[in-house]
């Protein structure tokens, strides 16, 4: 599981508290969360919730308007309501498919008048009616977010109205969560017995993993059949195992040796804790908390700088970890130290929405076996982050060094105190084999890490070592491992031993000559799996690949620590050394490395990718290399990317994935994360025999077949592209151009182009916004089906030339956009999108086949944490809604440049073609400014 994944697990945001049941279950807060213990230091730092939202007080939401209204008709409609009155509407907002419109009035005085008008201004003195005769009703837009004065009242309140989920999220903003709510959010299975949890996970693996893999493989056969029919060829017979009852049977999950307090790593977010300083909720007495949650916003909530988990989204404040059964004492003890320090510090928690503040997060790792603890303090630049105010109020450099020393001193001076926990009343603590509680534990190393990016620093991001040891040591099985701050390590130590033992067993089953057998450990991290296999004697040689340099440095040290030699050149493993570790994306080096293995060497492979699964090229290489008969896939995303990768490994050979297919032999879930919904899977694949392959495909020569297919395909592609280039030239000259994106938004774009408006369309949820456009030349629109904004239309080449990198907001926009690309788009998705733009639909000027592009890119999108995505999106929308038209166009160009830049990295032929296409259409020159933006 990746660090990001861990973060998702421990920092689940809004979704986790959005169930009806949870919201209904809001109780009067438990003492520890209300924190009436606000000491002097804390009260000094208390930030009262500011009641003065900038625009919200002028906003009204009109409900029961029709869902489908053409964007160009929205302002016509709203002005018809206020005809013959003095009410002035300055802005309207209507998300597509929602039946409400939000209007911003010129002054606050107009609000009551407007509400009265809608609610009583109909012909008969009743409410005004929509065009179908239904009554509309108006309500003040609700105050939602207390974090960000600048942002307030723009979009958050939309969310509250737009759907129940977000309404609930909004509702928790001003509440203090009870311990049960925190547990529900972060350890959702805590109410179930451990047996029930395992059963639930087993069922999930059957329904969402094994069944879906089979479905996906069958789909591939159907596609082949369809193609064969079109090409008048005979089709491939579906593999008979797919229809057997136990095609992929799921074993009962291996339980975690420790159900509680199993985490060896926690990641606290720096933020503010909601604290009740007086007593009671404002309207607690009415007993009806569900009816209008925000109206009961307590006036007595205060915010205190704190470190903890985000149990209810960014806006909900951080919560204390003391009530969580998966979190050990040492983590709570460090939270106590941080929570004593933060309210007194002039260094403020960072606000990721406005990019101001200092402390971002605290990562803590502990080995109970070696009694070591590492703390990594992630912070914004001391001089101020990207959103720093110009008046210098975000410049903390004068106090930074002093505060750093103070914090390190607090963290390291004593053994950790035993924290006061808030476990459920009937909770019985397990005996923890590797040591109980905080007994004698001390922080042994501290790092500071400056980070000014959007989400989390990557594994290679530099750290500053400020105290103690430079790494943490952990023991697993017979091995000892060094772990650097940026390196991945499994978060459940004893669970990891179980996991690795299973991998060892699966390899042992097939190695007849272990000493000669070479293991490829793909995504090896600090070398844990490979070195364990070596130590257990099931293989004799090891090549480990990982993208993270610090992890590979650790792996090399770890090899030596455990008695194995390491070599650095290609022949190292072949001739002299037992191990070789390579810091590189596996997709770049795996094929070459495999090529250099002598024919006589038996090879097995283990892959343990991050949540986004294996790169397509890695799957391709593993599949093509028929020397690998056994492949062990360790997955932390068994219902997502494992399904995709397994289907590519086991499906019929195609031009992209040639080679005899694999078949799933054993699917063994391992519960590494009790109390949560996550489950690890060890899926063992075995290569189909040549004989069996022949039965289905008539020949064992998979390569020659695919080669010819690939050749024809390339030729067809080049021809298609040349023809399209000509067509495009003609189209571009004649009618300008429309670069299509998704179906609905593309149509909308064309429609808007006709109305000479510019539109920001950011998905259904966030709606659209139209601007008057100064000239026809500026027709433009931006859209997104999910996370990918795209632009269409014509624009003035001068705008491109003048694109400046000075504007912080455009810079921020590009950062956000790049972030969406990197976070949510896989290489395959970008590749599919460029393919699509170039091939299927482009010549038609709009997307008529609704499925082509959608399917192409959707199926490759990474599984996302929806809440994280929503946050990002809100930020994008927020930013864009304040742009002038020209800024908008410039940003759109810049994000096109970002997209092209990313696409270019994977798809150089296509992309260079795309660049020329864009320069033709937009007169778009890749100026130094655009280059600078793409490199952000
Ligand atoms: C789930 S961890 C597994 C690490 C190791 N097998 C273990 O159990 O500790 C996934 C690893 O994949 C690495 N990784 C991510 N993308 C990669 C890529 N494209 N090529 C190689 N390694 C990658 C990460 O750095 C991380 O160490």
Domain identity same for 319 and 429: yes
User: How many CA atoms lie within 13 Å of 463's alpha carbon, on the beta-carbon side?
Assistant: 25
Q: Residue 66: inside a domain, yes or no?
A: no
Q: What is the pLDDT of residue 445?
A: 98
Give the separation between CA 46 and CA 304, rounded to whole angstroms.
Answer: 5
Residues 497 and 624 in one domain: yes
Q: Residues lining ligand 1, CB < 6 A?
A: 1-2, 459, 488-490, 523-526, 528-529, 545-548, 551, 585-587, 608-610, 615, 636
453, 488, 505 - which closes a domain: 453
Q: How many CB atoms lie within 10 A of CB 230?
A: 8
Query: Is 408 part of any domain?
Result: yes
Residue 41 lies in a domain: yes
Structural domains of the chain, count? 3
Residue 905, exposed/middle/buried by CB under 10 A (0-12, 13-18, 19+)?
exposed
487 Cα: distance to centroid of ligand 1 (angstroms): 9
| Contact in structure between 177 and 316 (CB atoms under 8 Å) | yes
Best CA proximity match to 277, nearest among 29, 24, 23: 29
From 694, 719, 754, the end of a domain falls on 694
Ligand 1 center–CA 359 separation, angstroms:
27
Mean pLDDT of 256-280: 88
Which tens digits make up the pLDDT trace of 273-323? 988 876 544 333 333 333 223 333 456 778 899 999 988 766 568 999 999
Together in a domain, 741 and 785: yes
Residues 664 and 726 in one domain: no
Asked if 438 and 486 sit in the same domain, the reply is no
434 marked ligand binding residue: no
For 227-244, what is each residue's pLDDT tens digit? 777 676 777 889 999 999
CA of residue 607 to ligand 1 center, whole Å: 9
Of residues 128 and 552, the one with the higher pLDDT is: 552
Mutate to test the pocket of ligand 1, among 523, 534, 862 (most ligand atoms within 8 A of CB): 523
Q: Are residues 646 and 745 in the same domain?
A: no
Highest averaged pLDDT of the listed ranges 159-173, 276-290, 382-396, 754-768: 382-396
Give the span between the Cα atoms of 633 and 668, in whole angstroms.
10
User: 407 alpha carbon to ligand 1 midpoint, in Å?
Assistant: 32
Q: Residue 791's beta-bridge partner residues? A: 782
Give 906 Cα–ligand 1 centroid separation in angstroms. Answer: 20
Query: Which residue puts its alpha carbon closest to atom 19 of ligand 1?
Result: 585
396 and 489, same domain (yes or no):
no
The proportion of the chain whose per-residue pLDDT surpasses 90, expressed as a percent, equals: 42
pLDDT of 783 higher than 50: no
* Residues 917, 918, 920, 926, CA torsion sign: negative
The pLDDT value recorded for residue 774 is 38
- As a residue count, the chain comes to 936
Domain that includes residue 854, residue range: 709-934
pLDDT, residue 391, reads: 82
Does residue 513 sit in the same domain as residue 649? Answer: yes
Substitution site in 525, 591, 827 for ligand 1 pocket (most atoms within 8 Å of beta carbon): 525
H helix and E strand count, the chain: 31, 24
Residue 816 has pLDDT above 80, yes or no: no
Q: 930 in a domain, yes or no?
A: yes
Q: Give a yes or no: residue 603 inside a domain.
A: yes
**In a shared domain, residues 522 and 581:** yes
Atom of ligand 1 nearest to the CA of 459: 25
DSSP three-state, residue 83: coil
**Which atom of ligand 1 is the closest one to the Cα of 606?**
6
Query: Which among 751, 797, 757, 749 is positioned nearest to 775, based on CA atoms?
Result: 757
Residue that terminates a domain, selected from 636, 659, 694: 694
Atom from ligand 1 closest to the CA of residue 636: 1
Q: Is position 325 within any domain? A: yes
User: Do both 635 and 563 map to the same domain?
Assistant: yes
| Whether residue 752 is found in the same domain as residue 660 | no
Q: How far, in Å, is the centroid of ligand 1 from the Cα of 494? A: 20
Report which of 506, 549, 494 is spatially closest to residue 526, judged by C-alpha positions. Answer: 549
CATH number of the domain bearing residue 552: 3.40.50.150
Find the mean pLDDT for residues 799-814: 65
Closest ligand 1 atom, residue 611 Cα: 1
Q: Which residues contact 483 (CB under 8 A, 6 or more apart)?
A: 365, 374, 471, 472, 473, 474, 489, 526, 554
Contact 778/795 with Cβ under 8 angstroms?
yes
Q: The complex's ipTM? A: 0.99
pLDDT for the residue 287: 34
Q: Is 772 exposed, middle or buried (0-12, 13-18, 19+ CB in 10 A)?
A: exposed
Q: Give the containing element (helix H, strand E) for 216.
A: helix 211-230
Closest alpha carbon to 757 in 783, 779, 735: 779
Instruction: From the candidates 524, 636, 898, 911, give the one annotated as an active-site residue.
Output: 636
pLDDT at residue number 818? 67
What's the distance, CA 33 to chain centroid?
29
743 and 685 housed in the same domain: no
User: Mean pLDDT over residues 658-673, rounded?
Assistant: 96
The CA distances from residue 756 to 47, 124, 751, 773, 780, in Å, are 46, 38, 9, 6, 8
The answer to whether position 282 is within a domain reads yes
Pocket test for ligand 1, best of 530, 587, 605, 610 (most atoms within 8 A of CB): 610
Q: Does the annotation mark 209 as catalytic?
A: no
395 carries a ligand binding annotation: no
Nearest Cα neighbor of 693 from 246, 247, 241, 244 is 241
Q: Is 835 annotated as a binding residue?
A: no
Q: Where does the pLDDT of residue 59 fall: very low under 50, low under 70, confident under 90, or very high at 90 and above?
A: confident
């Amino acid at each position: 599981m990746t660090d990001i994944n861990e973060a998702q697990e421990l920092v689940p945001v809004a979704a986790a508290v959005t169930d009806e049941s949870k919201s209904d279950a809001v109780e009067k807060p438990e003492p520890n969360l209300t924190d009436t213990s606000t000491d002097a230091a804390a009260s000094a730092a208390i930030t009262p919730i500011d009641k003065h939202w900038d625009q919200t007080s002028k906003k009204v939401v009109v409900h029961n308007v029709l869902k489908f209204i053409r964007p160009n008709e929205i302002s016509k409609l709203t002005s018809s309501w206020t005809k013959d009155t003095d009410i002035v509407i300055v802005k309207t907002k209507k998300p597509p498919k929602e039946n409400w419109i939000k209007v911003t009035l010129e002054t606050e005085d107009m609000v009551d008048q407007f509400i009265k008008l809608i609610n009583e201004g109909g012909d008969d003195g009743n409410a005004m009616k929509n065009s179908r005769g239904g009554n509309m009703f108006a309500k003040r837009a609700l105050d939602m977010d207390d974090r960000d004065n600048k942002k307030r009242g723009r979009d958050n309140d939309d969310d509250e109205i737009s759907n129940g989920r977000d309404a609930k999220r909004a509702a928790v903003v001003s509440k203090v969560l009870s311990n049960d709510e925190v547990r529900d959010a972060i350890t959702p299975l805590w109410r179930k017995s451990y047996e029930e949890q395992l059963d639930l996970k087993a069922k999930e693996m059957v329904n969402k993993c094994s069944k879906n893999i089979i479905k996906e493989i069958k789909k591939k056969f159907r596609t082949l059949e369809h193609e064969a029919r079109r090409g008048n060829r005979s089709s491939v017979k579906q593999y008979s195992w797919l229809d057997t009852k136990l095609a992929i049977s799921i074993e009962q999950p291996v339980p975690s040796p420790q159900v509680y307090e199993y985490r060896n790593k926690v990641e606290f977010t720096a933020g503010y804790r909601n604290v009740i300083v007086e007593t009671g909720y404002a309207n607690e007495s009415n007993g009806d908390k569900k009816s209008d949650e925000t109206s009961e916003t307590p006036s007595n909530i205060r915010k205190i700088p704190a470190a903890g988990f985000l149990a209810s989204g960014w806006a909900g404040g951080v919560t204390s970890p003391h009530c969580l059964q998966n979190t050990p004492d040492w983590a709570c003890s460090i939270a106590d130290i941080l929570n004593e320090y933060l309210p007194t510090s002039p260094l403020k928690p960072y606000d990721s929405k406005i990019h101001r503040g200092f402390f971002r997060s605290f990562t803590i790792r502990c080995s109970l076996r070696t009694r070591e603890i590492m703390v990594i303090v992630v912070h914004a630049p001391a001089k101020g982050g990207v959103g720093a105010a110009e008046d210098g109020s975000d410049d903390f450099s004068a106090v930074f060094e002093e505060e750093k020393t103070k914090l390190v001193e607090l963290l390291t001076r004593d053994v950790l105190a035993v924290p006061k926990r808030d476990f459920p009343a009937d909770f019985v603590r397990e005996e923890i084999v590797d040591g109980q509680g905080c007994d004698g534990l001390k922080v042994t190393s501290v790092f500071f890490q400056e980070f000014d990016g959007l989400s989390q620093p990557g594994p290679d991001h530099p750290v500053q070592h400020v105290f103690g040891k430079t790494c943490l040591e952990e023991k697993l099985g017979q091995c000892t491992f060094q772990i650097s701050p940026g390196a991945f390590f499994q978060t459940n130590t004893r669970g990891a031993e179980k996991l690795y033992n299973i991998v060892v067993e699966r390899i042992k089953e097939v190695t007849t000559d272990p000493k000669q057998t070479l293991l490829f450990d793909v995504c090896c991290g600090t070398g844990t799996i490979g070195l364990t296999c070596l130590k257990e004697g099931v293989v004799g040689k090891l090549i480990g690949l990982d993208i993270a340099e610090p992890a590979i440095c650790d792996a090399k040290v770890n090899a030596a620590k455990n008695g194995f030699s390491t070599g650095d050149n290609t022949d190292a493993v072949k001739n002299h050394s037992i191990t070789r570790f390579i810091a590189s994306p596996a997709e770049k080096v795996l094929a070459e490395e495999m090529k250099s293995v002598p024919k006589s060497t038996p090879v097995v492979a283990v892959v343990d990718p991050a949540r986004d699964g294996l790169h397509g090229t890695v799957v391709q290489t593993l599949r093509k290399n028929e020397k690998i008969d056994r492949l062990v896939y360790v997955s932390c995303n068994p219902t997502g990317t494992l399904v995709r990768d397994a289907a590519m490994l086991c499906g019929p050979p195609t031009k992209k994935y040639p080679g005899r297919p694999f078949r799933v032999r054993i699917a063994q879930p391992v519960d590494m994360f009790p109390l949560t919904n996550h489950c690890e899977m060890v899926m063992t694949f075995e290569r189909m025999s040549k004989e069996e392959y022949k039965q289905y495909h008539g020949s064992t020569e998979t390569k020659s077949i695919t080669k010819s297919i690939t050749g024809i395909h390339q030729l067809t592609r080049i021809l298609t592209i040349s023809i399209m280039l000509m067509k495009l030239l003609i189209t571009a000259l004649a009618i300008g151009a429309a670069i299509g994106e998704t179906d609905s938004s593309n149509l909308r774009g064309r429609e808007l182009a006709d109305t000479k408006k510019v539109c920001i369309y950011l998905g259904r949820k966030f709606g659209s916004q139209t601007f008057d456009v100064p000239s026809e030349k500026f027709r433009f629109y931006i859209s997104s089906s999910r996370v990918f904004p795209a632009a269409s239309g014509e624009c003035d080449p001068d705008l491109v030339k003048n694109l400046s990198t000075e504007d912080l907001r455009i810079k921020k926009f590009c950062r956000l956009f790049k972030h969406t690309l990197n976070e949510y788009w896989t290489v395959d998705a970008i590749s599919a999108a460029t393919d699509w733009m170039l091939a299927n639909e482009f010549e038609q000027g709009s997307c008529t086949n609704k499925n082509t592009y959608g399917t192409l890119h959707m199926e490759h999108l990474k599984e996302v944490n929806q809440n994280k995505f929503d946050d990002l999106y809100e930020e994008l929308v927020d930013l864009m809604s304040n742009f002038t038209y020209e800024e908008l166009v410039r940003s759109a160009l810049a994000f096109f440049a970002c997209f092209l830049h990313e696409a270019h990295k994977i798809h150089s032929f296509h992309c260079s073609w795309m660049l020329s296409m864009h320069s033709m259409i937009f007169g778009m020159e890749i100026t130094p400014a655009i280059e600078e933006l793409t490199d952000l």
